[in-house]
Structure 1
Amino acid sequence: MKPYSYTISKPSEIGGVIRAFRSLGVSGCSLLISIFTAYTKKDGLQEMVDALSLSFPEAEISGMTSSVCIEQGVNRTEKIIILFEVFEKTYIHTICFDHAPGKEDAVGWAVMDEINKISRPLCGIEILASQSDHRFSDFSPFLNVLTHELPGALPVWGALADSQTWPNHTYVFSKKYISTAGLVLRVYTGDISIMLNHVLGFRPLSRPLTVTAMDGPMIIKELDNKPAIYYYDKYIHTPDFQEQSLPFPLLQLADGYVHAHLPQGRTLDGGILFNIRCTVGTEMRLSYGDPELMLAETKKIWEQMHAFGGESAHILSCAARYQFLNKNLGDILANYNNVTPSFGIYAHGEIYRAGQRLVAAHLTGNVVVFREAAEAQQKDVSYNPVHLTQHMAHLLQMATFVSTAMKELEETKDALQFAATHDSLSGLFNRGAMEKYLAQCIKNNAEIGMPLSAIMIDLDHFKTINDTYGHSIGDAVIRTLADLMKKHTAGRGYAGRWGGDEFLIILPGSTLETAETLSIHMKDDLFHAHILPDDFPVSASFGVTIARQGELEQSFYKRIDNALYTSKENGKNRITIFDANGTAKALTMQETGDW
């Protein structure tokens, strides 16, 4: 494949473009003509499409509006880019649909019906979308259908149209279709390799905030039960909200991937308007743009582009990235273009795969590279370092300060949280934390029937150990038992120091037999641990029981305490097991293998 591009200022100049391309005399099995345009008058758009359709009746023609377009790695403002891509082994199928408010999933199924009619192998799908002048469209149901029906390895990407008067006059169009609330899908089939990547470059700033109220799918009404705008006012002071919130989107972590939601405005009652769906219960964090991270991510993409050796690249980047990176973005695009001729637009929302799932988000840079050649056609070029402008350098310094301060605060918070819930000597949960976990497990047992067993442990002759060998040895005994408890309960439950030389293990979801087996292993390991200076063995007494469904916490605790007391009264160094009805079973040293 090979790309040819032309820049014009108004639709009436399209004739010159047609003559210039015809004069090249190029041919192939198919031709894709893309129109990326800052011009947004419907009649003019139709004029260009009609002229191109008349001159190239076999070509697939489609495009979208954008406030800034990209040609050969250069940002073009107030221009129209006409891109001809000539293919040798690839065919393009164009599918167009209007949005159907409230029936977006039905549109998804209708699109899939059209895709399934295509006989050639699918290689990739590019989605060009526009949002209504009067309402934001919810693309999630549509994308969910495509996620479910399309192969997970199929490259799928796209963008939402932009304009200088956004959300007004944003169009997507093809030969016989033009809409401010529509979808144009370009389905690539045949024999072509497609490399798809996306970058973000934003880091968390605030503590986690949970969406607690929505007003429809696009307005976050409350975060942590406060008006959503409260946190923008608190952290960054936003008298001009839409302009000043640009570098501070909300970040969402979902399925291991980070997505950005960029505010589009505020409501009178303190809600925040987005053009991307959100749901109650979603965890968000205010974030900030990190220029150094952005440059590192874009360099990594350049390296992948260089290794891939593509023949043409589509850049579908967020318009907010253009405003944020400004002059530095020109240097980044120049690097891309040195490797692969690069064309595209700046969007008001981007579509990409997060793992298997298709999502719409903001502040993302989609980089899509095409190659029909069987092997990479690598160029002998090197990466030109991008030097931050003075403004961005100052921003980087501030970002570094914020990042370091946030890390220190998180570490302090984690340390305080650990100290509040853990015993300092053993590293086990303290009694307060264990009481909380026990209450929750008792509740789960009563409400959903989850089994609950527990083990209570008391070190034998611990006062004698302290008096004979000193408190440092006594501390070593406690730490050794604690390590054994952590080892044997990892992933099974909660281990805590109940007080002094008493310890408790809570095992939600475990049977009485499991608790018995764990007790035997811990008792045996402790007995052979060689802790004391004279190698005299350290023993412990164990009480084990299981809860009846719906049993009260006080009754359950009394039974396990009685089981431990029975072990102590019957000579120590043994395990006593009470079933749910209080029937006792004792395991002596011989039975647990300690002789």
Structure 2
Amino acid sequence: MHIGREFHKTVRFGGGLVIMFQTLFNFAGMEQFGACLKDPELLAHARRSRSVLIQFFASALDPAVSEPLHAEICRSFPGAIVTGITTSGEIYEGQFVFHRTVVVFSFFETSELHLLSEPCRKGEEAEVGRRLGLAIAERVGSSSVKGLLLYATSQRMDGAELLGGMRGSLGSVPVFGAGAASYDNNGASWVMAGGKTYWDGAAVVAFSGDELEIKVRDYMGWEPLSRKMTVTEIGDPKWIKTLDGVPAAEVYEKYLGIRNDENFFQHMLEFPLILQRGDKLVARVPVSRGENDSLHVAADVRVGEQVRLGYGTPHHIMIAPEDIRNDLGGFEPQGIMLFSCYCRQVYLQEAVNLETKAFQQFAPAAGMYTYGEFYGQGEEVQMHNASLVAVAMREGRQTESSAALPESSDRPTGTKQMEMTSRLAKFVGVVVGELEQANREMQQLMQTDRLTGLHNRGKMEDLLSGAMQRAESGEEAFALILLDLDRFKDINDTHGHLSGDAVLRRTAQLLQGHAGGTVAAGRWGGEEFLILIRAADAQQAGRLAEQIRAELEQTDFQEAGTVTASFGVTASAAGEPVRQLFKRVDDALYAAKRGGRNRVVVAE
């Protein structure tokens, strides 16, 4: 490594047969970059490389120099792909640096790289993503792409919509990258690509090649602590208006005492909202407080999603990811890129390097602190917050010795205060989990008929209310089956109430066998049972009722012998009040009784 007073340069090869070559520069100012264009070692690597990728990470990239800088680079490195992105902190040799320009040269001997970029303003994300995806598929072929590096101005656009537009054309290609951020220029951020500057736009580098291998890992380290809250109203996908019907920002004031002052943003960074997307927990970091106590978050949320307040645990952020670092080390990378959320930098403060510096022992590791991280593949690709995404690349095969890595003596341990914070967070998380479990059990008791185990009348009324709302909005119709056990009083009088209870329980078991999915069954009262069937008409419900009637008649109730029931069936009608619906199904049930019992009457 050459170390000068004003800039550093790092050169490192990966293990095994080296084909890819990566080197890092760390400048105090861009005027020093000219020396790179004359570096004989870099020029020699360029001559024997099929593709060259040059990336700039800095908060103060000058848009005015983008075009002449690109032209100057291409004179020394013809055909080089040049990208740049503004940052909220640079990562050099796996460590945080500030007010520096980090430049990464990556030389690929056999791989082919393609750069595509487009302007993209708010509202255009899905269409721009679709065009980028199609262009990649047409130029490279989606089956040949090993990975996509994506940079975008995510502060001023919906990154999730951009990814959604790309997804349809790219199958299971892994996507990784970052949203532009900045601590300079009054927070203004942008992306540079091929000599162009995009204040609102996206740039994609597509990697392909038979010898190229890419491994991507991510981790968060924030854990959910509070009870679950439902997103009940949003503005656009990045504005949460209410949680459980309450203004969203009030949640932070109620539980954490975070008030609407000049430190609101800094305090909230430590406590993102955590939600489940597929099989992953993802974070949504609030970045500002809006009108009527709404919250502006860094990435998309959806109405109906359940979120919880999260808390960063230093143990998970710094220590638990050691297996991820070792996994990438065992991969024998020849270059590593790191994309870490700005909130991790704010949270870890002076300990920020403890989670990233170990990557440098495997390969030259550089990157940035972001405004959102892109990661995933197929249907799981999405925009993240509060995460670190590590990307390892290699050309050529691993050596046989790569299976076992020596145990690192540089294991991050954190401070005593961090250890105490982790234990406190663990305690709070366990307590919240126990309370939630107790609440679930209480809710189950409150909604369950104690004798039969079916839904009780209160729960069935709740389900019926929801079904009525969907029917009134035209979303879906539903049907009801009301059944009453025939001559149940005679069973109690002849065999006793214990025998009658056994009949009710056995009937409930039979009904439970048909419940699930769109069918809900409950005890309506005494010997009456109600079945609600979503997205069904009267004829469909009638066939189910007849099936249940026949099964009931053929069941051996032991002491009580044969037991039958009478059934009334009907379906909802548009604009019909619930009272009228129930009168119709009740009349159908009594028509079955009057008709001789043990029969089904369908009221159209």
Does the alignment reach a TM-score above 0.5? yes
Contact kept in structure 2, 1:545 and 1:580, CA below 8 Å: yes
Aligned to 1:372: 395
Report the alpha carbon displacement of residue 260 of structure 1 after superposing the two structures with TM. Answer: 2.2
Deviations 1:397-454 (A, max 9, x none): 2222221222223223222322222112322111233344456557767867745241
Contact kept in structure 2, 1:92 and 1:187, CA below 8 Å: yes
Aligned to 1:519: 549
Equivalent of 2:171 in 147, 152, 170: 152
Aligned partner of residue 579 in structure 1, secondary structure: strand
Deviations 1:491-516 (A, max 9, x none): 35222223344434344424312221
Please tell me the residue identity of whatever aligns with 2:30. P
Q: Give the Cα–Cα distance (whole angstroms) in 2 for the partners of residues 549 and 274 of structure 1.
A: 41
Ranked by relative contact order (alpha carbons within 8 Å, sequence separation 6 or more), the top structure is: 2
Aligned partner of residue 555 in structure 2, secondary structure: helix
Aligned to 1:229: 249
Equivalent of 2:438 in 409, 412, 423: 412
- Are 1:495 and 2:521 an aligned pair? yes
- Are 1:40 and 2:68 an aligned pair? no
Report the alpha carbon displacement of residue 327 of structure 1 after superposing the two structures with TM. Answer: 5.3
Equivalent of 2:405 in 378, 381, 384: 381
Please tell me the residue identity of whatever aligns with 1:185. V
Report the alpha carbon displacement of residue 269 of structure 1 after superposing the two structures with TM. Answer: 4.1
- Are 1:55 and 2:76 an aligned pair? yes
Structure-2 change in CA distance of 1:190 and 1:405 (3 Å): same
Aligned to 1:592: none
Report the alpha carbon displacement of residue 370 of structure 1 after superposing the two structures with TM. Answer: 1.7
Aligned partner of residue 488 in structure 1, secondary structure: coil
Aligned partner of residue 426 in structure 1, secondary structure: coil
RMSD: 3.5
Q: Give the Cα–Cα distance (whole angstroms) in 2 for the partners of residues 153 and 353 of structure 1.
A: 9
The 5-angstrom pairing of residues 169-568 of structure 1 reads 169-191=188-210, 192-204=212-224, 205-214=226-235, 216=236, 218-239=238-259, 240-255=263-278, 257-267=280-290, 269-278=292-301, 283-294=306-317, 298-326=321-349, 329-353=352-376, 355-356=378-379, 358-375=381-398, 378=402, 380-382=404-406, 384=408, 385-438=411-464, 450=477, 452-458=479-485, 471=498, 475-491=501-517, 493-508=519-534, 509=536, 510-527=540-557, 536=559, 538-547=561-570, 550=573, 552-562=580-590, 565-566=593-594
Report the alpha carbon displacement of residue 152 of structure 1 after superposing the two structures with TM. Answer: 1.8
Please tell me the residue identity of whatever aligns with 1:556. R
Report the alpha carbon displacement of residue 386 of structure 1 after superposing the two structures with TM. Answer: 3.4
Contact kept in structure 2, 1:34 and 1:84, CA below 8 Å: yes
Q: Give the Cα–Cα distance (whole angstroms) in 2 for the partners of residues 337 and 46 of structure 1.
A: 32
Structure-2 change in CA distance of 1:122 and 1:458 (3 Å): same
Deviations 1:313-332 (A, max 9, x none): 21111111222234555333
Contact kept in structure 2, 1:455 and 1:515, CA below 8 Å: no
Report the alpha carbon displacement of residue 238 of structure 1 after superposing the two structures with TM. Answer: 1.5
Deviations 1:64-119 (A, max 9, x none): 22232223323333332222212122122222333334434443355346435525
Q: Give the Cα–Cα distance (whole angstroms) in 1 for the partners of residues 282 and 485 of structure 2.
A: 50
Contact kept in structure 1, 2:342 and 2:369, CA below 8 Å: yes
Contact kept in structure 1, 2:480 and 2:585, CA below 8 Å: no
Deviations 1:500-548 (A, max 9, x none): 4443434442431222112322443343xx5xxxxx3544231123215
Report the alpha carbon displacement of residue 126 of structure 1 after superposing the two structures with TM. Answer: 0.8
Equivalent of 2:102 in 81, 92, 104: 81
Structure 2 residues without counterparts, runs of 5 or longer:
1-19
- Are 1:68 and 2:98 an aligned pair? no
Structure-2 change in CA distance of 1:79 and 1:439 (3 Å): closer
Report the alpha carbon displacement of residue 336 of structure 1 after superposing the two structures with TM. Answer: 3.1
Q: Give the Cα–Cα distance (whole angstroms) in 2 for the partners of residues 18 and 350 of structure 1.
A: 31
Structure-2 change in CA distance of 1:426 and 1:259 (3 Å): same
Aligned to 2:9: none
Aligned to 1:28: 49
Report the alpha carbon displacement of residue 305 of structure 1 after superposing the two structures with TM. Answer: 2.2
Q: Give the Cα–Cα distance (whole angstroms) in 2 for the partners of residues 242 and 151 of structure 1.
A: 36
Report the alpha carbon displacement of residue 245 of structure 1 after superposing the two structures with TM. Answer: 0.3
Aligned to 2:5: none
Aligned to 1:139: 159
Share of identical aligned residues, percent?
23
Aligned partner of residue 217 in structure 2, secondary structure: strand
Aligned partner of residue 264 in structure 1, secondary structure: strand
